[in-house]
Amino acid sequence: MKRIVQGDNLKVLPTLPRGFARLIYIDPPFNTGREQSRDRMQVKASATGERTGFGGRRYDVERVNSPSYDDAFDDFEGFLMSRIEAALPCLTSDGSLFVHLDYREVHYAKVALDRLLGRECFRNEIIWAYDFGGRPKRRWPAKHDTILWYVVDPKQYVFQFDEMDRIPYMAPGLVGKEKAARGKTPTDVWWHTIVPTNGKEKTGYPTQKPLGVLERIVKVHSEAGDVVLDFFAGSGTSGEAAARNDRGFVLIDDHPDAIATMQRRLARWDPEVETSAVG
Ligand SMILES: C[S@@+](CC[C@H](N)C(=O)[O-])C[C@H]1O[C@@H](n2cnc3c(N)ncnc32)[C@H](O)[C@@H]1O
């Protein structure tokens, strides 16, 4: 299965088959409070809203037809959790969910995910640490994102230890030549550069995540032939990570620039990728 779907993920997700994805990775808008240049769907908490989301709360969804918008949500938890809830039926019974956020929202999302899935289904809080951009002088520069890993079933899930890439020892002189040459397996703190500004990987799509981070997740948490679902797909990094490693993908985004970027990016790996639209 290799598909790109344009539409609001809240509408697209219920149209997808049940149990097709071994891995879901999402990197939603971070609620940065900054202006982004694009149209979007706006979800607002409303006692009389047409949709029911996490915890029985009700929402209204409307398209905001402005060329720019603030990445600021009245109810980010409602926006995110209603979509995660809609995506859960897509996972296999041994599937994993990865939710990529930053310090602004991760703590609220962790509590909400524990409530939705059960604390026993939480496996790891992965810190992706990078070092790029300005350094404020009145607080510690925030240079990491957080990726929460949950499983459907804590007794049965995919963790391919031998598929991990290896990283250099910090003090190779202390471990002997052979071990130093082999490198060590990573911990839950992943040092990885952002997508290099002039590198081959760069698509030009804002907030593109590095392929190295996504390939690590895809290789360890799925097997060849599996399908990866990303319903905030952006430039399609998770799709490229999947395609490079013989996995299928379903990539959803509501923005035409994201769809065009993904089509260009993934045609290199499979000229037959199917694109459709919902809504
Ligand atoms: C942080 S970006 C994802 C970046 C991606 N991980 C990458 O490496 O390029 C978030 C994406 O979510 C999309 N998005 C936001 N709200 C959406 C919605 N309701 N339905 C579908 N896509 C949405 C945005 O258009 C944006 O492309």
CA distance 221 to 161: 9
Q: What are phi and psi of 62, to 5 degrees?
A: -140, 150
Among protein residues, the one whose CA lies closest to atom 2 of ligand 1: 234
Q: Which domain holds residue 265?
A: 2-277
User: pLDDT: is 191 or 43 the higher one?
Assistant: 191
Four-point Cα dihedral 51, 120, 232, 143, nearest 10: 130
Element at 251 (helix H, strand E) = strand 248-253
Which ligand 1 atom minimizes the distance to the CA of 83? 19
Ligand 1, residues 229, 253, 257: which to mutate, most atoms within 8 A of Cβ? 253
Contact 2, 225 (CB under 8 A): no
How many domains in the chain?
1
User: pTM score, two decimals?
Assistant: 0.86
Which ligand 1 atom minimizes the distance to the CA of 79? 19
Among protein residues, the one whose CA lies closest to atom 7 of ligand 1: 208
Q: Is residue 207's pLDDT more than 50?
A: yes
Among protein residues, the one whose CA lies closest to atom 5 of ligand 1: 234
Please report, for the domain that includes residue 20, its CATH number.
3.40.50.150
Q: Is 161 exposed, middle or buried (0-12, 13-18, 19+ CB in 10 A)?
A: exposed
CA distance 201 to 236: 11
Q: Is residue 69's pLDDT more than 90?
A: no
Cβ neighbours for 109, distance < 8 A, ≥ 6 positions apart = 77, 80, 81, 99, 101, 148
pLDDT in tens, 81-114: 999 999 999 999 999 999 999 999 999 999 999 9
Tokens for 202? 């760069």
- Three-state DSSP class for residue 128: strand
pLDDT in tens, 125-147: 999 999 888 899 999 999 999 99
> What pLDDT shows up at residue 279?
81
Compute the half-sphere exposure of residue 83: CA atoms within 13 Å on the CB side of its CA.
31
CA of 222 to the centre of ligand 1 (A): 22
CA of 177 to the centre of ligand 1 (A): 44
